[in-house]
Amino acid sequence: MKLNWSDVTPEADFLNRRSFLAAGLAMLATPALGLSGKPSGFSTDEKPNSFEDITHYNNFYEFGTGKTDPAEYAGSLKTAGWQVAIDGMVDKPGRYGVEDLVPDSALEERIYRLRCVEAWSMVIPWLGVPLASVLAKAGVQPGAKHVAFRTLEDPAQMPGQRSRSIDWPYREGLRLDEAMHPLTILATGLYGKVLPNQNGAPIRLVVPWKYGFKSIKSVVSITLTDKQPQTSWQMLQPSEYGFYANVNPQVDHPRWSQATERRIGAGLFGGRQDTLMFNGYADQVADLYAGMDLRKNY
Ligand SMILES: Nc1nc2c(c(=O)[nH]1)N[C@H]1C(S)=C(S)[C@@H](COP(=O)(O)O)O[C@H]1N2
Ligand SMILES: [Mo]
């Protein structure tokens, strides 16, 4: 299975009848978190996508490049006892358990739009906590300017990693002020349930004003640094994928327009909708980029 950047191309809707049944079974099999999370003022009132759509139309290249590959193959990921290393420019470096970083009692529900760079979108009801609250536990040191994230690297559990198409592990990064923004969360659940493996269990980043690839799944390390981190998509094809990757309908991808998007689940006749600046979060985040040329810093 050779992954290359030209695989990332908008594709036509398709119906996968088998996956309707699979979703019903997955719904039964997925443990409830036992609480729904405190509602927050950050949620959209748009209708969330179905559990079926959210868990059977995924990008998680560690399990293959097809949209249904993660649902089919991510069962091999072992999430029990998962630890996240927090290191670099922090007062208390160490390996932290997921429950220590994201206690169930602190979970908030955040219903966010997710806009993939491939020009499709969804609305997902996450359960998570602000990344800022997690960074505060480790104590960010004054010189830190960026945060680097890495996904697990283990080809035994992640069959997609047996192909060296991406320089594994999957890497992402944020500027510190982006990381500290109240919209930026670490999620451990969705729809009131423990995060399904295909969505990045047991803990993944969600940055709703950026293209979906910034929202790195199954995170094993968080590193505070004074340098802009390398990111997987930028390493693969820097002319197409930048460090910032803010959703921007005015800056097209070199191979397709970013002006509109296809909302998954809207049906074959649902048509396309306009993509909004910063994915509709401009009021909250535009200040972060004041004075920056967003065509250069794509
Ligand atoms: N580790 C890892 N994280 C990842 C990806 C990936 O392939 N590997 N894909 C990204 C992309 S391109 C998108 S659009 C979102 C999709 O998240 P979802 O499948 O939960 O909707 O995850 C992002 N995080
Ligand atoms: Mo994506």
Which of 51, 110, 217 gets mutated to test ligand 1 (max ligand atoms within 8 A of its CB)? 217
Locate the ligand 1 atom nearest the alpha carbon of residue 211 and give its number.
14
Identify which of 8, 12, 69 has the alpha carbon closest to the alpha carbon of residue 262. 12
pLDDT at 12: 36
Given its phi and psi angles, is residue 294 left (phi above 0), alpha (psi -120 to 50 degrees) or beta? alpha
21 — pLDDT class (breaks 50, 70, 90): very low
Q: Which-ligand-closest: CA of 112?
A: 1
Nearest CA, atom 6, ligand 1: 60
Q: Which-ligand-closest: CA of 51?
A: 1
Q: How many Å lie between the centroid of ligand 1 and the Cα of residue 142?
A: 31
Q: Is the per-residue pLDDT at 32 higher than 90?
A: no
Q: How many Å lie between the centroid of ligand 2 and the Cα of residue 121?
A: 9
Q: Is the per-residue pLDDT at 208 higher than 60?
A: yes
Over residues 152-181, mean pLDDT: 97
Q: Is the per-residue pLDDT at 28 higher than 90?
A: no
pLDDT at 2: 42
Over residues 128-136, mean pLDDT: 98
The overall average pLDDT reported for the chain is 91
Nearest CA, atom 11, ligand 1: 213
List the beta strands (DSSP E) in 165-218: 171-175, 185-190, 193-194, 204-206
For 156, residues 6+ apart whose C-beta sits below 8 A from its C-beta are none
Weakest-pLDDT range from 32-41, 228-237, 257-266: 32-41
Q: How many Å lie between the centroid of ligand 2 and the Cα of residue 83?
A: 25
Nearest CA, atom 23, ligand 1: 213
Q: How many Å lie between the centroid of ligand 2 and the Cα of residue 30?
A: 24
pLDDT at 267: 82
Weakest-pLDDT range from 19-23, 75-79, 219-223, 289-293: 19-23
Q: How many Å lie between the centroid of ligand 2 and the Cα of residue 139?
A: 31
Q: Is the per-residue pLDDT at 7 higher than 80?
A: no
Tokens of 172: 């992402």
CB 61 within 8 A of CB 160: yes
The residue that leads in pLDDT, 143 or 10, is 143
The DSSP string of 217-237 is -SEEEEEEESSPPP-HHHHH-
pTM: 0.91
CB 149 within 8 A of CB 171: yes
pLDDT at 33: 59
Q: How many Å lie between the centroid of ligand 2 and the Cα of residue 298?
A: 15
pLDDT at 145: 98
pLDDT at 51: 98
Over residues 194-199, mean pLDDT: 98
Weakest-pLDDT range from 2-11, 137-146, 190-199: 2-11
Q: Which-ligand-closest: CA of 69?
A: 1
Q: Is the per-residue pLDDT at 172 higher than 80?
A: yes
pLDDT at 38: 79
Q: Is the per-residue pLDDT at 5 higher than 50?
A: no
Q: What is the pLDDT of residues 237-292, one digit of tens each?
A: 999 999 999 999 999 999 999 999 999 999 878 779 999 999 999 999 999 999 99
Which of 8, 11, 59 gets mutated to test ligand 1 (max ligand atoms within 8 A of its CB)? 59
List the beta strands (DSSP E) in the chain: 38-39, 83-88, 94-97, 108-115, 120-130, 146-151, 171-175, 185-190, 193-194, 204-206, 219-225, 260-263, 272-274
Q: How many Å lie between the centroid of ligand 1 and the Cα of residue 91?
A: 30
Which of 54, 60, 211 gets mutated to test ligand 1 (max ligand atoms within 8 A of its CB)? 60
pLDDT at 106: 98
Residues near ligand 1 (Cβ within 6 A): 58-62, 114, 116, 151, 170, 199-200, 212-213, 215-218
Q: Which residues surround ligand 2, an ion (CB under 5 A)?
A: 59, 116, 212-213
Weakest-pLDDT range from 3-17, 116-130, 132-146, 258-272: 3-17
Nearest CA, atom 8, ligand 1: 60
Nearest CA, atom 4, ligand 1: 216
Q: Is the per-residue pLDDT at 39 higher than 60?
A: yes
pLDDT at 73: 98
Q: What percent of the chain has pLDDT over 70?
A: 88
